[in-house]
Amino acid sequence: MNNLVVVNHPLAQHLLTQLRDKQTPPAVFRSLTRKLTTILLIEATRDLPTDSVSVETPLERTQGAVLAAKLVVVPILRAGLGMLEPVVDLFPDVAVGYIGMERDHTTAIANSYYLKLPPVEGRTVLLIDPMLATGGSVDQALAAIRSRGAGRMIVICIVAAPEGVERITQHHPDVPIYTAALDRELNPAKYILPGIGDFGDRLYGTLTSPDASATIGAPLND
């Protein structure tokens, strides 16, 4: 899993632990998601290219650096929307695309129901989705983005399963995956263990019962 980067920063792990807690309410869950995404994003963009520029400080002229890469961010709907705000905040000029994926609960296979991408040719594309489970959705999304000529692709997720990481590594060996945790495994229903619960439901407060997130494991967003 050479393309996997687990961000073990103490603050990242602190935030992740609170996200895992089934007692965390949606409003706090959304805030934690934004904060943790910011940490992951900074790590994932550490090697973006820059251009040297001259700038006048209040005291003298000096050399500085500005971002040279043209960025595109693509959240996988719906849970990926919870990670979008930090990207736009840190990179105001980023172009935003959307990919909708929905799994068949019988086959656990993800199907695309929506695709809207800005021009990606030659650009760096950040694909964001909280849970990398089987890897099906992320695999399809990366293939769609690649087919449009993306220059570079980076996956950012909150939690990953070994099965999903292996799939992306095999099908997209040039794509790095940044995550806060590599969890143990998928259960027979293809949910991540120990997981976070149904990320989308916890994000938007749509759980069907108070204990739903604890009983189903992490959602198979992909």
Residue 24, φ and ψ in degrees, nearest 5: -70, 120
Segment (H or E) for 100: strand 98-103
Higher pLDDT, 189 or 52: 52
* Structure confidence by residue, pLDDT tens digits, 110-138: 677 788 999 999 999 999 999 999 999 99
Catalytic residue positions? 103, 107, 198, 201
> Residue 205's pLDDT band (boundaries 50, 70, 90)?
confident
pLDDT of residue 20: 96
> Residue 101's pLDDT band (boundaries 50, 70, 90)?
confident
Q: Give the amino acid at 32.
A: L
Is pTM beyond 0.85 here?
yes
Domains of the chain: 4-47+69-216 (3.40.50.2020)
Residue 54, φ and ψ in degrees, nearest 5: -100, 135
> Residues 6 or more apart from 199 whose CB is under 8 A from it?
79, 82, 130, 131, 158, 218, 219, 221
